[in-house]
Amino acid sequence: MSRTDWEVVIGLEVHSQLNTASKIFSGASTAFGAEPNVQASAVDIALPGVLPVLNRGAVERAIRFGLAIGATVAPKSVFARKNYFYPDLPKGYQISQFELPVVQGGAITIRVGEGDKAYEKTVQLTRAHLEEDAGKSLHEDFHGMSGIDLNRAGTPLLEIVSEPDMRSSAEAVAYARALHALVRWIDICDGNMQEGSFRCDANVSVRPRGQEKFGTRREIKNLNSFRFLQQAIDYEVQWQIERLEDGGTIQQATVLFDPDSGETRMMRSKEDAHDYRYFPDPDLLPLVISEEWIARVRGGMPELPEAMKARFVADFGLSAYDATTLTASKEVAAYFQATVDAAGKANAKLCANWVMGELAARLNKAELDIAASPVAPAQLAGMVARIADNTISNAIAKKVFEALWNGEGGDGADAADQVIDCQGLKQVTDSGAIEGLIDEVLAANPKSVEEFRAGKEKAFNALVGQVMKASKGKANPGQVNELLRRKLQA
């Protein structure tokens, strides 16, 4: 019997912390890193008699998200109580949304893979709903007891639930990355994964390819990096396949990923699952969102990645690939746009090459975000303009870029010009000067000349190289080519 061809099915639930200044149902600050329990108000610690009041800023962020993914923003949604006991859940219930979430449907287009194997895919979203975060239980440093920090209790979250549309860990990671970029793009979440602002739960199952019915899923909880997301899914998929191929079955369960061992382990089975006893929260009225409110939010939305991508293709003549790369994050797009704004639309393609090429490589090597780039967009644009007007060649431009990276040429937009001047990098375009160099090189390399005349094109390239070398790289390569060929064929 041939081995079964397994298909992987993945759906993601992402908890995205909304970047409001205060909590979703109280006025306490949401700033990260404060001393334990100093940012917990009477409402957050659930004193007797306190009541929640909805933060409209959190709702506005949910609307932004709904608009960004082409979802339905529900005209009426309902907050419900999810009841369970835990020491870091002060009320004994979490206020969430259950039957009627604020954002319904929508989709995100992702690009999976690199180079020729890259493909695009659209992931459908089920819903996104508003809820409050719980506090934190601290199990160390308390000598057999647990500490409770309620600073995080009541922090607004948007839980974003996808359909089970992903078919590999690569697709899951691509989706998570696209979502991460989007929530930062529309400025509803800082995306800080270390601080827990963006956490993923992955529902993973496998089924024989061709089978319509989904396999039994296990949910991997609380993955706070893309690498862990990938590792956890890969491990889980392998575990499930091996189990099934050994004749076993999968039981629905919630599992945790241990980054140290790289394994998933069971947290609770379906039998142990809580009955959360959801019911509409009588302390909060249904959330009503008017058309006017939605229109107002729409008016304040930034240009979205898809629209920007299309514009880059249409206006700047970029390839779809380049446009996708340049809109992969808000910061890259902003950098590129600023560079083009300074260098001019005609130089957009050149700007794109430099942003995606040399700059990206240097940033990557230095582990810097583009926002922290030592070369400012205006400086890069200044350099690109000199390439475009033939003041420097691409080869020399690399030298100039290196100088800019190191802060040479000053802070101004004219940094590239300063570098070119100071280091005498201006391209030689004077035909007479270039012809002089060619004559010297031809005289010194009679062998190469002979070979060329015998039909060896390679010899020509060698001669070009010699002329460039003699000019210290400054001769215009196009001119060198043209003049050399004319001389040799004369």
Q: Which residues bind another protein (CB under 8 A)?
A: 42, 45-54, 81, 83, 85, 87, 90-93, 148, 275, 277-279, 282-285
Give the number of other Cβ atoms within 10 Å of residue 241's Cβ. 16
Q: Nearer to another protein by C-beta: 27 or 259?
A: 27
User: How near is the Cβ of 94 to another protein at its closest, in Å?
Assistant: 11
The identity of residue 445, as a single letter, is N
Which residue is associated with the tokens 């004193």? Answer: 47
Nearest-approach distance from CB 217 to another protein, in angstroms:
19
Q: Does the CA dihedral 479-482-485-487 come out positive or negative?
A: negative
Distance CA 328, CA 171 (A): 15
The answer to whether the beta carbons of residues 23 and 154 sit under 8 Å apart is: yes
| Closest CB 43 distance from another protein, rounded Å | 9
Give alpha helix (H) positions in 260-356: 291-299, 305-316, 320-326, 330-343, 348-354
> At closest approach, how far in Å is the CB of 101 from another protein?
18
Q: Output 88 or 414, the one with its CB closest to another protein.
A: 88
Cα separation, 198 vs 218, whole angstroms: 21
The one-letter amino acid code at 33 reads G
User: Rounded distance, CA 352 to CA 156, Å?
Assistant: 37
Strands (E) in 85-197, as ranges, are: 93-97, 103-104, 107-112, 119-132, 136-138, 147-149, 156-162
CA nearest to 301, candidates 76, 486, 61? 61
Q: Six-digit token pair at 414?
A: 């004219």
Q: Which is nearer to another protein, 48 or 455 (CB)?
A: 48
Could you tell me the CA-to-CA distances from 261 to 25, 140, 170, 449 in Å, in that order?
39, 21, 21, 65
Q: Which is nearer to another protein, 5 or 35 (CB)?
A: 35
In the bound state with another protein, the residue whose beta carbon lies nearer, of 37 and 124, is 37
Token reading at 52? 């929640």
Compute the least distance from the CB of residue 288 to another protein, in Å. 12
In the complex, least distance from residue 82 CB atom to another protein, rounded to whole angstroms: 10
Residue 107's contacts (CB-CB under 8 Å, 6 or more residues apart) are 69, 70, 122, 123, 124, 125
State the nearest-atom distance from the C-beta of 333 to another protein, in Å.
Answer: 39
Closest distance of CB 291 from another protein, Å = 22
Q: Where are the alpha helices (DSSP H) in 55-200?
A: 56-68, 169-185
Around Cβ 141, how many Cβ atoms within 10 Å?
Answer: 7
Residue with tokens 């989007």: 182
Least gap, CB of 129 to another protein (angstroms) = 18
Smallest distance, Å, CB 34 to another protein?
Answer: 18
CB 21 within 8 A of CB 57: yes
Question: Is the CA virtual torsion 187, 55, 20, 181 positive or negative?
Answer: negative
Whether 302 contacts 74, CB under 8 Å: no
The DSSP result for 415-434, as a single string, is: HHHHHHHHHT-PPB--HHHH
Q: How far is the CB of 71 from another protein (least distance, A)?
A: 25
137 vs 406 by CB, closer to another protein = 137
Q: Which residue has the tokens 């506005």?
A: 60
381, 353 contact by CB (below 8 A): no
Q: Which residue, 147 or 302, is less far from another protein as judged by CB? A: 147
- Of residues 282 and 432, the one with the C-beta less far from another protein: 282
**Are 423 and 454 in contact, with CB atoms under 8 Å apart?**
no
- Tally of CA atoms within 13 A in the half-sphere of 106 that contains its CB: 27
Least distance from another protein to the Cβ atom of residue 13, Å: 20
Q: Tell me how far, at minimum, the Cβ of 200 lies from another protein, in Å.
A: 27
